[in-house]
Amino acid sequence: MPQAVEAGGWIFVSALFGVSPADRTIPDDATAEAEQLFDNLEAILAAAGARLEHVVRVGLVMRNLQRDRPVFNEVWTRRFGGHLPARSAIESSDFGRPGESARYMVEAAAFRG
């Protein structure tokens, strides 16, 4: 299953986690996990000829919204800067692969034009 699909200048990224591509581990630290997630998103977008500035919408799932949102928001602000894509966030305790304890899962839509 592809991590992203491109159609008519749109790039749709689905079920993206903060998993290290090198060893498939999820960092224990919330900030490190969020940073890895953005590294993964940037790599996927770059492969399609896009950047974070092209992202127009993000759907975010967090395992514990109240606990993990402040950390994620710090990384979000640092990575997106003044660019403000539309965003929604929900809490769910049931996502990802069995046995993994990812804090975050992202789906994103970007438009290259």
What's the confidence (pLDDT) of residue 59? Answer: 98
Hey, what are 47's tokens?
Answer: 């492969």
- pLDDT at residue 111 greater than cutoff 90: yes
Q: Is the pLDDT assigned to residue 1 strictly greater than 80?
A: no
Nearest to 107 by CA among 15, 41, 1, 9: 15
- Please report which helix (H) or strand (E) contains residue 7, including its range: strand 4-7
pLDDT tens for 38-86 read 999 999 999 999 999 999 999 999 999 999 999 999 999 999 999 999 9
Q: State the greatest distance between any 2 C-alpha atoms of the chain, in Å, as a whole number.
A: 39
